A and B are shown apart, each in its own frame.
Chain A
Amino acid sequence: MMRIAAVGDIHLGTDSGGTFAPVVRGLAGRADVLLLAGDLTQHGLPAEAEVVAAEVAGAPVPVIAVLGNHDYHSNAEREITAILVAAGVTVLEGTGTVVDIDGARLGIAGVKGFGGGFAGASGTDFGEPLMKAFVRHTKEVATRLRYALAALDCDTRVALTHYAPIPDTLIGERAEIYPFLGSYHLAEAVDAGGAALALHGHAHAGSERGSTAGGVPVRNVARPVIGKPCALYAVDSGAAGERTRMATPSSAPSVDLAAPTAP
């Protein structure tokens, strides 16, 4: 069993020092890895990222994160990434990492993701340049997630995003804003990439549990949703292997997808 601790939307500000460190320390012996599903800061300020870095610096387990929209708010996402990396955090954006857990390899691929909506009620790549850019950005990040998942050499794959891949975990949010909370393209990537579990945040008023059309469990780990400092999931590497085969009709990405360009 691989034990995954996960939380998103901790939204630390410069006044939040000391609030998250006890949570991280408390994971010793309880989890094998800590995944952070974005919105680590409140305003995307480097000073806030320093607070996050200090809180997780002494983590007893590997810490792997994606950024959220808040972390982009001050156009300082690169600097924030660098600050977190310096504190030992693996920050994913269209990339993956593999953690060895007692000989079993847990692979995590992550992107921030983006909005766009869900099948039947989504934006389309049509019309004004801004609209097209919006939808294309979603498709692009979804494609990057798919490739990052597929590229993982591991026993079990986990997809980590900030935006939601499915609407089920948004229940509780107003339906009108679903297109700003996630995109079904992310779920397509989760299914095609053979993930055993998908974790996201962003929808503070959503629900914890759902699954993709391909049957991959999805958990919304936004802090207000889980109602506790972090959620813990135990993933059986054997069962995940079966799921991987099930959920991957074609292990190679289909031909109509352009290979992702470097971000």
Chain B
Amino acid sequence: MEDAPRGLRESLKRVAVTLKEADIPFALGGSYACWARGGPEPVHDVDFMLREEDVPRAVEVLAAAGLRPVDPPEDWLTKVFDGEVLVDLIHHPVGRAVTPQMLQRSSEMSVDSVRMPVMDATDWFEMTLLALEERYCDLARVLPMIRAMREQVDWDQVRRSTAASPFAEAALLVAERLNLIPPVDAAPVAARPGEIAASGGAVVSSGAAQRGGTKGGKGGGKAAADKHGGKAEGSNTGGANTGGANAEGANAEGANAEGANVEGSNAEGRAQEGIGLRIGKETGSPVPGEKWDVAGPSVLAGQPDVAGQPDVAGQSVLAGQPDVAGQPGLAGELDLAEADEYLAGELRERLAEDPRVAELGLEVVVAGGCILVEGEVATDVRRRAVVDVVAEAAPGRLVRNEVTIIGRVPVADETAKVETIS
């Protein structure tokens, strides 16, 4: 067992070279593909991905090269033994056929100094996450792989194609909360400012309308689920943007069936809470009504009492309001005409430098005229100040404050865990 990896690698290279010489298209898959892309080295398991029609010939050339084919009962792969080492030739991973396109997407990499096609990282995660199921959903195995390969992966694509799997969704949620992968792209929703403004008005108008907004939120949540294949983005303000967004969502992806599937359960349940928030961000936030805030007198005109309600006031952006100008730390407006990327960078610096927040670790995303702030701060006061600082620097922009407060856990529970350093 000690030298298993060495034996595995020898077999891996033998099979790869044999297939290459026979001109059979293939890609290295399974945990060795992950290893080739920087992940942990597996101790059993060598997997190759082939088209089903190529499998008989692959078995033939491998047998000719001295490997021993076995015919397993499974209908999605076949196996060959190289001495003690078992090599899987997979043609239908997670029930999906290996396609020529998938093999074309793989990249030529040097694996233990033999060049061979290695499965594309995005395809690889789609399969790995779809393979998770009730009896096999150990995230402790998946997370190191995400850590190792995360920058090689199109995570939005993975989210879309795995949306039907609750286990995949859970894995992606954990990875996102650990900041291993980027959050769901908020841009598509943010790009519809007209709708957001309308719904924002509905939400802020009164306590009763908040309820109304909640109802509307169902639709918003659904729309987001369609668009993102079930990973409810929920940037909708719970307002009246159902129709357009729904249509757009339905057109956006070919994954309607999946989206619809999810919609019935998760997305709607979330939207019913009237949160309209991505679920991953809810837990740390003490204010349940976090939403896009619209800067502008029109929204707040009928709302003189907003400032008195801590929940709403902390969130609402009064960009350009005269009373804001008197606050400490005001460093003036930024040039809003400059590229989003620069604006995000400058806002990030503002948040670090402004004494009301002074947090260096906040992430700022500017897209489609909207500003999203994420990260952790120590107190609720600082969390609320995030909106003030951003609003002063970039008046008139939509601001979404997804900053959470660092959790406080009773000491007695946690200090029991002692790590022994030896």
Chain A residues whose C-beta falls within 8 Å of the C-beta of B244 in the assembled complex: none
Q: Which of A12-56 contact B (CB under 8 A)?
A: 12-13, 15-16, 19, 22-23, 26-27, 30-31, 42-43
Contact B418 A232 (CB under 8 A): yes
Q: Which of A185-234 contact B (CB under 8 A)?
A: 196-197, 204-205, 217, 219, 223-224, 227-234
Q: What does DSSP make chain A's interface, helix, strand, loop or mixed?
A: loop
Known: A234-B421, A235-B421. A228 touches B414 (CB 8 A): yes
Contact B422 A228 (CB under 8 A): no
Once the chains are docked, how many angstroms separate the CA of A196 from the CA of B147?
27
Once the chains are docked, how many angstroms separate the CA of A10 from the CA of B379?
11
Contact A229 B378 (CB under 8 A): no
Known: A43-B355, A205-B361. A197 touches B421 (CB 8 A): yes
Once the chains are docked, how many angstroms separate the CA of A231 from the CA of B355?
28
Chain B residues whose C-beta falls within 8 Å of the C-beta of A23 in the assembled complex: 411
- Taking a contact as CB atoms closer than 8 A, the residue among A11, A22, A70 that contacts B411 in the complex is A22
Contact A217 B421 (CB under 8 A): yes
Contact A30 B406 (CB under 8 A): no
- Taking a contact as CB atoms closer than 8 A, the residue among A10, A19, A204 that contacts B376 in the complex is A204
Once the chains are docked, how many angstroms separate the CA of A22 from the CA of B408?
11
* A119 CB–B CB distance under 8 Å: no
How close is A12's CB to chain B, nearest CB, in angstroms? 8
Contact B378 A42 (CB under 8 A): yes
Q: Nearest B residue to A208 by beta-carbon distance? A: B419
Once the chains are docked, how many angstroms separate the CA of A131 from the CA of B138?
47
* B178 CB–A CB distance under 8 Å: yes
Chain A residues whose C-beta falls within 8 Å of the C-beta of B408 in the assembled complex: 19, 229
Known: A204-B376, A228-B409. A27 touches B421 (CB 8 A): no
Chain A interface bracket (under 10, 10 to 19, 20 to 34, 35 or more)? 35 or more
Chain A residues whose C-beta falls within 8 Å of the C-beta of B178 in the assembled complex: 172
Q: Nearest A residue to B148 by beta-carbon distance? A: A171
Q: A-facing mask of B350-388, CB < 8 A → 1, else 0? A: 000001001111000000000000001011011000000
Chain B residues whose C-beta falls within 8 Å of the C-beta of A16 in the assembled complex: 378-379
Contact B415 A234 (CB under 8 A): no
* B283 CB–A CB distance under 8 Å: no
Contact B411 A234 (CB under 8 A): no
Once the chains are docked, how many angstroms separate the CA of A240 from the CA of B419?
15
- Taking a contact as CB atoms closer than 8 A, the residue among B407, B412, B415, B421 that contacts A196 in the complex is B421
Q: What does DSSP make chain B's interface, helix, strand, loop or mixed?
A: loop
Q: Nearest B residue to A69 by beta-carbon distance? A: B360
Contact B415 A229 (CB under 8 A): yes
- Taking a contact as CB atoms closer than 8 A, the residue among A26, A172, A236 that contacts B420 in the complex is A236
* B179 CB–A CB distance under 8 Å: yes
Q: Nearest B residue to A171 by beta-carbon distance? A: B147
* A239 CB–B CB distance under 8 Å: yes
* A61 CB–B CB distance under 8 Å: no
Contact A233 B421 (CB under 8 A): yes
Q: A-facing mask of B378-414, CB < 8 A → 1, else 0? A: 1101100000000000000000000000111111111
Once the chains are docked, how many angstroms separate the CA of A13 from the CA of B406?
14
* A73 CB–B CB distance under 8 Å: yes
* A137 CB–B CB distance under 8 Å: no
- Interface contacts beyond A1-B420, A13-B378, A228-B409: sample of 20 additional A-B pairs, CB < 8 Å, sorted by A: A12-B378, A13-B379, A13-B381, A16-B378, A172-B180, A204-B361, A204-B376, A205-B361, A228-B413, A228-B415, A229-B408, A229-B415, A230-B411, A232-B415, A233-B418, A233-B421, A234-B419, A234-B421, A235-B421, A239-B422
Ordered by A's residue number, 9 sampled pairs between the chains whose C-beta atoms are within 8 Å are: A5-B415, A26-B411, A26-B412, A42-B382, A219-B419, A223-B406, A228-B411, A229-B411, A229-B415
What residues of chain A have their CB less than 8 Å away from a CB belonging to chain B? Answer: 1, 3, 5, 10-13, 15-16, 19, 22-23, 26-27, 30-31, 42-43, 70, 73, 171-172, 196-197, 204-205, 217, 219, 223-224, 227-236, 239-240
